[in-house]
């Protein structure tokens, strides 16, 4: 019979792969400690992203694998999670109250980027994270309507208090103007407004801030790249060739400015008939997967074109909130876990943990 040792336990854990990123638990650095008492073992694990929704299933899977080894009589598994700041582009540092900023972008409009952003944020929240949403589309803000909140936000001194909606902290220029008021601003005013919304808002201890970008690769995206510490970006596209052409530009732009691309989301991947439930790829198939393979990034999710998604957003009750047990919500939650797991695999940002050193001449 194999003699139990810490190395043997590590070898067993190396056979278990995180379902959301495909890497094994040892490579991911989940293991914090091993205890051995005869043929009984205990393992202390910590994931790098929120896992509330799959915690029990993961514990059961890990326990079953450990106890299937002939050397192990009983296994006790302790599993928790913690989100830490990850490396951002250039010389920028994470903001004090925001561990990670995740930018959601698209090369063109009309691909469902905002719908994806808000349901992604709510899915992260459903797994236990502290999450905020910043509506960076100054010309066409949609978050107030999608999340069912309105009115001028409160201020504390010269700081803005974010609105609260469904457990999210939310900020948008749409809170400060009427829905039918056009923002007739030039580029510098728009980029200045974005910086103010980000840095002058009293964000409260966020694990993730999801930034819903306007389509394209213009002023807002350039400001984001140069002045906003972004941990990773998600590119939303639809399967047809025209959308994929523009999505490729978004990927290339983020790579040129040294910003991590976490993966691709193929929205409107199929159409689900509201009458019979038949699912059909009306916009073509395989586009998102081909693009993901071309740029060597994961395909994080494939989301359907479903009338319920639109109807829920129009009522200010996104699908993840209004139908928490639905198949649609399950897809968003899987997308959120894969996004967070991919981010957790990137290097940690240690800048916030380093002590300040003062050199004084005496």
- Per the structure block, which two tokens stand in for 308? 């319920």
Q: What is the largest CA-CA distance in the chain?
A: 82
Q: What does the pLDDT read at residue 354?
A: 46
Phi, psi (deg, nearest 5) at residue 37: -135, 95
- The 10s digit of each residue's pLDDT in 86-99 is 999 988 999 999 99
Phi and psi angles of residue 292, each rounded to the nearest 5 degrees, phi first: -60, -40
What the chain holds in terms of domains, given with CATH numbers, is 6-81 (3.30.300.130), 98-344 (3.40.50.300)
Is residue 230 within 8 Å of residue 261, measured between CB atoms? no
Are the C-beta atoms of residues 49 and 340 closer than 8 Å to each other?
yes
Two structure tokens written together for 58: 């993961």
CA distances to 5, 38, 70, 72, 255 from 2, in Å? 9, 12, 8, 9, 48
C-alpha 42/C-alpha 37 separation (Å) is 9
Cα 336 from Cα 346, distance rounded (Å)? 16
What distance in Å separates the CA atoms of residue 91 and residue 304, rounded to the nearest whole number? Answer: 39
Q: What stretch of H or E contains 123?
A: helix 113-126
Sign of CA pseudo-dihedral 91, 97, 99, 105: negative
Local confidence band at 352 (pLDDT 50, 70, 90 cut-offs): low
pLDDT tens readout for residues 81-130: 999 999 999 889 999 999 999 999 988 788 899 999 999 999 999 999 99
- Tens of pLDDT, residues 198-242: 999 999 999 999 999 988 878 888 888 889 999 999 999 988 877
Report pLDDT for 278: 82
274-332 pLDDT, tens digit per residue, is 778 788 887 777 888 888 888 899 999 999 999 999 999 999 999 999 999 999 999 99
| H or E element, residue 41 | strand 40-47
Q: What CA–CA distance (Å, rounded) separates 226 from 144?
A: 27
Q: What confidence tens digit (pLDDT) does each residue in 27-55 have?
A: 999 999 999 999 999 999 999 999 999 99
3-state helix, strand, coil in the chain (%, to 5): 35, 20, 45
Question: How many Cβ atoms from other residues are within 10 Å of residue 15's Cβ?
Answer: 12
Give residue 80's Cα distance to chain centre.
19
Which of these, 222, 293, 207, lies nearest to 254 by C-alpha position?
222
How far out from the chain centre does Cα 349 lie? 17
């Amino acid at each position: 019979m194999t003699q139990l040792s810490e190395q043997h336990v590590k070898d067993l854990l190396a056979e278990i792969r995180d379902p959301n990123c495909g890497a094994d638990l040892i490579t991911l650095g989940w293991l914090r400690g091993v205890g051995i008492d005869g043929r009984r073992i205990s393992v202390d694990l910590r994931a790098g992203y929120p896992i509330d929704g799959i915690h029990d299933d993961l514990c059961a899977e890990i326990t079953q694998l450990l106890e299937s080894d002939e050397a192990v009589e009983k296994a006790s598994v302790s599993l928790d999670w913690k989100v830490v700041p990850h490396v951002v582009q250039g010389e920028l540092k994470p903001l004090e109250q925001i561990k990670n900023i995740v930018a959601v972008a698209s090369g063109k409009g009309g691909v469902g980027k905002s719908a994806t952003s808000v349901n992604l944020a709510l899915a992260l929240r459903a797994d236990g994270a502290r999450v905020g949403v910043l509506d960076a589309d100054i010309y066409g803000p949609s978050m107030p309507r999608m999340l069912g909140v309105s009115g001028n936000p409160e201020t504390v001194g010269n700081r803005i208090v974010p609105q609260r909606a469904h457990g999210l902290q939310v900020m948008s220029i749409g809170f400060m103007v009427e829905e039918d008021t056009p923002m007739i601003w030039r580029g510098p005013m728009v980029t200045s407004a974005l910086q103010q919304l980000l840095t002058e808002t009293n964000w409260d201890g966020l694990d993730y801030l999801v930034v819903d970008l306007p389509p394209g690769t213009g002023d807002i995206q350039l400001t984001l790249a140069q002045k906003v510490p972004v941990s990773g970006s998600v590119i939303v596209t639809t399967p047809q060739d025209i959308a994929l052409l523009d999505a490729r530009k978004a990927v290339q732009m983020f790579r040129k400015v040294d910003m991590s691309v976490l993966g691709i989301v193929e929205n409107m991947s199929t159409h689900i008939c509201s009458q019979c439930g038949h699912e059909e790829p009306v916009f073509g198939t395989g586009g998102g997967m081909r693009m993901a393979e071309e740029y060597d990034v994961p395909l994080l999710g494939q989301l359907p074109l479903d009338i319920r998604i639109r109807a829920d957003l129009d009522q200010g009750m996104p699908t993840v909130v209004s139908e928490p047990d639905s198949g649609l919500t399950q897809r968003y939650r899987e997308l959120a876990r894969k996004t967070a797991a991919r981010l957790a695999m990137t290097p940690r940002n240690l800048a916030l943990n380093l002590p300040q050193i003062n050199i004084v001449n005496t």
